Chain A
Amino acid sequence: MRLLMIGAAAAFICAMICASLATADTARNLEEGERLFHARCGYCHLDGGTGTFMLGRRLGKDKALLEKRTDLNPDFIRHVVRAGIGSMPPHNRVELPDSELDLIAIYLSRPTSARESRP
């Protein structure tokens, strides 16, 4: 019984550590995704950018700034970046490797909880 309790405690501690590691990973991914979004997409998609302007005209001002959108999912983002959409040309894997696109997609589709915890 005692052994069982020790085992359960160890499992609990391990789960906590894993969860906290996963949280740390997620936070790092979001941070890196944000940095990459600004570096690779920011020319057009930050405030005042040509992409923001075009999206505002086509979809309305509430959908113009990609960072503020809550209706984007990773697969859609990956598809749009590789296929292009409207006046946005496709982006190849040299200018934006899959590993970087994945992080940008994670960042833009982050859940509300991740948005609230960040300033």
Chain B
Amino acid sequence: MALVLPPNVSAKSFQQALDAFAGVVGREWVLATEEDRHTYLDAFSIGDADDHVPSAAVGPKSVEEVQAIVRIANEHKIPLWPISRGKNLGYGGSAPRMSGTVVLDLGRMNRILEVNERFGYCLLEPGVGFFDLFNYLRDNRIPLWMSVPGNAWGSVVGNALERGYGYTPYGDNTGHICGMEVVLPNGEIVRTGTGAMSNSPCWQLFKYGYGPSWDQVFVQSNFGIVTKVGLWLMPEPESTMGLSMQLSNPEDVGWAVEALAPLRLTGVIQQSPSIGNSLRVAAVQSQRSEWYKGDGPMPESVLREVLQKFNLGWWGVNLRLYGYDEVNEVNARVIKNAFAKYTKQEFAISKWHRGDPVADSGAGIPSVAALQVVNWRGGRGGHVGFSPVLPATSEHVLKQFRSTRKRYEEIGMDYYGSFTLFERYVTNINMMIYDQDDAAITAKVRALFKVLVDDAAREGYSEYRTHLSYMDEVAHTFNFNNHSLLRLNETVKDALDPNGILAPGKQGIWPKALRGRKV
């Protein structure tokens, strides 16, 4: 793979910058061989790897080294793409939006700086993985639970900064951030919230501080490099109770949302119930070719065979209550009564009590088992997710489900979707699974993705997170007052980062010098 230099940077200047980086981090941590560049490509590319090629990577060990790198990058006009551990799989992994960007890999900054049992929080560097924090809590017998996403290979901080989700009552990961340390594009360090006081005991306790609150400005943005994050952890509950049910028909998702939404809104259910189609389970446990070898979508008759084999319904509903035994029992009765209005089926119930094996508890236990789905079509597997946000009503969910499923089938792919309920909205994750070396299927995925973005925008649905290749398209759908939000973001970008060195193009925000250019 040929070296792609950053825009407007000569080979000589680029080499000088790399030499200067080496002066800061040591030659060993400037990764600039062809093999190194390959290791930072999108591991699940959709036939678009050439659009997101890094020129090198640099791996600092401390915030001081990050500051020094930023100053050098300004001097040589070198764009930097910060990653925590680079496992943003399905959204571009460790690859930069713009080819030629140097990946700033924060994986060596992996200290767990504090875990506070009394207040239930931790303070982490970006390189701390879900497994690292889990092992730390377990080994030190700290009764705090993490919120863990489906694929837990990556960074705790990175996931929260990309607005990832988990399945416990603390599942809105970005919503549980409390206090950050950030290196600005000019190399200055700031601490947000009450961390801006030199002696505050409340940095990880009180989110807002005084005046404008900045934490969320550094989430999914390119305004600063986040070097520390405070994150709230959930005190271990006395007990949990899992309720699950298989629904027989595609249209059942409508009434299930109608039954669950008021329970979620009023706090009877405090985590986010998920309703996922059963292909998710089948793809973990089998391969497509075991069932169907045709090119188009699997026919309904074949799908029914799959469901029968695994004893699944068309959808699986899963939710869990966390708290005191008595309270969980009462809330479970309320949920059963709500479902009884729509179905005679009973929930399958699983109970956990403090002291039982944690594996059955519903605690956030890291796993990478979900990655098994990329083997659905065999070969060099990959997946990408289209993830719009809808109001939590059956009307919106059914309309979106029918329309998305039709689009999958029109283009010849197997529908693979889930709906996760929050208090007032639903996230709708639609997965597309492919063999990266099958050009026909990756072309279908790209076409489907584009259609889904356009369809959702027509309904006024935004994505909460997207793949590198669609960041501009999705940003463009935020079109109120002729895209005034994007103009605000660009104004902030230019003020904080006049040389445009930090993550050009992330979330559709380009620095002035590159704005409107095809790079």
Chain A interfacial positions (CB closer than 8 Å to B): 43-44, 49-50, 53-54, 57, 82-84, 86-87, 89-95, 97
Contact = CB atoms under 8 A, between A and B. Distances in A.
A87 B375 contact: yes
A107 B379 CA distance: 28
B281 to A, nearest CB: 14
6 contacts: A54-B375, A82-B38, A87-B374, A90-B38, A92-B57, A94-B31
Contacts, number: 66
Contacts of A44: 368, 371
Nearest to B372: A50
A49 B369 CA distance: 7
B372 A93 contact: no
A43, A90, A94 — most chain B CB neighbours (10 Å): A94
From A83, A84, A87, A93, residue with most partner B Cβ within 10 Å: A87
Contacts of A97: 28
B31 A93 contact: yes
B447 to A, nearest CB: 23
A92 B40 contact: yes
Contact of B380 (A53, A86, A91, A94): A86
Contacts of B380: 84, 86-87
Q: Chain A's interface: helix, strand, loop or mixed, by majority? A: loop
A92 B37 CA distance: 9
A90 B43 contact: yes
A51 B36 CA distance: 23
Q: Is the interface of B mostly helix, strand, loop or mixed?
A: mixed
B381 interface: yes
B287 interface: yes
B43 A94 contact: no
B36 A49 contact: no
B379 A50 contact: no
Interface string B88-113: 01000110000000000101100000
Given A86-B379, A87-B380, A94-B29, 13 more contacts: A44-B371, A49-B369, A50-B368, A50-B369, A82-B38, A86-B375, A87-B382, A89-B44, A89-B89, A90-B38, A92-B31, A92-B40, A92-B86
B39 interface: yes
B43 A57 contact: no
B381 A49 contact: no
Interface in B41-58: 41, 43-44, 57
Nearest to A95: B107
Given A94-B107, A95-B85, A89 B372 contact: no
A79 B31 CA distance: 17
B39 A50 contact: no
B356 interface: no
Contacts of B375: 54, 57, 86-87
